[in-house]
Amino acid sequence: MTTATRRSLTDVPDILYNVFSHFDVHAVCLPDDQPLADLLCTLGMATRERGSDDQSCHDEDKPQRYVLPTDDVGGYPVFGAIEAYEQRWKRSRNYDVRYSISIPGNPRTHVHWARFVQYASRVRAVALFIFDGPKWSRLWDELQHATGGITILPMLDTVTFCEIGPRRALTPGIFALIPPSVGKLRLPLPPSRLDPSMIRSYFPQIRHMDVQPECGVEDLRMLAGFPTLRCLSISVSFAVPSPNLTLPVLGTLVMEGSWPNLTTLLNSAHLPSLHTLSVTGWEGEDNASKLAMDAIQCLHAISRYKSITNLSIYTTYTPQYEYGCVEDDIPEVQGTSHGSLLDTMRPLLSLRSLRYLATRLPDYLVGTESDLSLMADAWPDLVELHLVIWVYQGWSRAYTPRPERPYGGRLEGIAHFARKCPRLRVLHLPAMELAEESLGAVEFPSETHSLCTLVIEKVLFPHGRADLAGQISELVRRVFPRVASAFEQDQIRFGKEEFYFSEDDDSDPGEEEGKEEEQETWGFMESRLVTYGRYMPSREAGP
């Protein structure tokens, strides 16, 4: 029923438009430009040609968007299946059906033009087929010509290029959708496959580029031709030394690759405005000493950039490429570095402007616990510090998990940050240890510190001294009183660490008698993360 106060079902698109207007438009991306072409048809300004193969598909027969069966049999591409799948996918999407303007004159005089503009003005992000794309995309050249060069998507900010296969013919029409104001480009293909002059012509204000495949030397040469880039996300892979990469206004760089490749790029780049850096190193060797040396060299390269205020350093398994029907195991990393956490991070102590620092390092890079005093001395302006050590586990069938150690050092070390880092609001430390004399060894701060969040994942107690748990509560209360409630004695539970043994433990591994008593006792915080006050981490603090 339709009344003056109730809208009919034919108005559902407009009702949805009003609902969508409340969404975060920057987080919503059109899957491609077909919905816009269909909208012009629905509003009576365009028509579709019915192809000879045009037929509807049942939902269960429709292929997934952009997904081709490239590794159905033991990692080998099934070319016949790919071709049939692609043809069926194109039919289901009307990929090869041409759309065209169906009205004479200027479409802006059409009764429903304002309605199209309403929807088009909501589009902030869209994915477009860059090579050999659908025939419907040719509609945009027609529309722009018929309207005298109007900007079709005036609020568009982000473009993601996609492709079905490695073809080379540019899709006619899609560039008519891209206004000069677009600032962000996502590329699922190497930048060197694109014409640099074309990118500069259609993206004159490009500020952010996210490149998904690994970048080689030619890709970096192309990226160096975009002096307006302020944010760049890449993976790097070099067979030869990297060319100089000069980006004068680049403020944020997110990169991953092997440690030597990251080092090569950072040493050869000229990035005078860099303030936010995130690096992710891949484990590419099976020797901890070699990996530790490579990581430290990369940190030395990072230390060249004294303007950095936000720094994130992570590690992850090296991406595996499957060949044939056998999947390679992720290898064990042999041995452990003999240096401390501070030894690994020492090159970063020269970055005196750091406000945000997050590290997620594997245990093989950190052999012993570390004194935190020099870190607190080096970074007096810290607002957030996250030091995370994860236990590396190879995927070999014979792999034995490594023991956990108190890599954060002695618990009283938290007092150094209270005395020397007055702006600190978030402190996240790895496992630490408690000694009987901890309370007596602490020089407590003279003023109350305003730390909002404290995370200590676990605390190692001396043999048989779980009764010292109350010292944790007292120490935290006197150092960081605002988070003391999370470390009350009744918030601590206990567990045995069956893998951890002292450095001087020379007992017979096969000796079972008294083994339970020799196991270290860990205290786990039940409420490890407690936040008080109004402090919120900065959006730019860490990618």
Does residue 203 fall inside a structural domain? Answer: no
The count of structural domains within the chain is: 1
Q: 433: which DSSP letter?
A: E
The answer as to whether 542 is a domain residue is yes
Residue 527's domain comprises 312-321+331-502+515-543
Highest-scoring range by mean pLDDT, 214-218, 229-233, 488-492, 516-520: 229-233
Q: Is residue 283 pLDDT above 70, yes or no?
A: yes
**291 contact partners, CB below 8 Å, separation of at least 6:** 259, 283, 284, 285, 333, 337, 364, 365
Pairing of strands 356-362, 384-390: parallel
> pLDDT tier at 504 (50, 70, 90 boundaries)?
very low
- Torsion sign, CA atoms 359, 364, 369, 374: negative
Q: What residues have CB less than 8 Å from 263, skipping those under 6 apart?
A: 294, 297, 298, 300, 301
Any domain includes 251: no
Give yes or no for residue 430 having a pLDDT over 70. yes
In a domain, 91, yes or no: no
Give one DSSP letter per residue of 277-299, joined into a string.
EEEEEEE--SBHHHHHHHHHHHH
Would 20 be classed as within a structural domain?
no
Q: For 450-484, how does the pLDDT look when each residue is reduced to its tens digit (9 = 90+)?
A: 999 999 988 888 877 888 888 888 899 989 999 98
pLDDT at 359: 95
What region, left, alpha or beta, does residue 130 occupy, with left being phi > 0 and alpha being psi -120 to 50 degrees?
alpha
Residue 394 lies in a domain: yes
In a domain, 101, yes or no: no
424 in any annotated domain = yes
Q: What is the pLDDT of residues 27-41, one digit of tens each?
A: 458 888 998 999 999
What separation, in Å, do the N-terminal and C-terminal C-alpha atoms of the chain show?
51
Q: Could you tell me the pLDDT band of residue 494, with boundaries at 50, 70 and 90?
A: confident
Amino acid at 12: V
Quick one: what percent of the chain has pLDDT higher than 90?
38
pLDDT digits over 130-188, tens only? 888 899 999 999 999 999 999 999 999 999 998 776 667 889 999 999 999 899 999 98
Identify the pLDDT of residue 506: 41
pTM recorded for the entire structure? 0.81
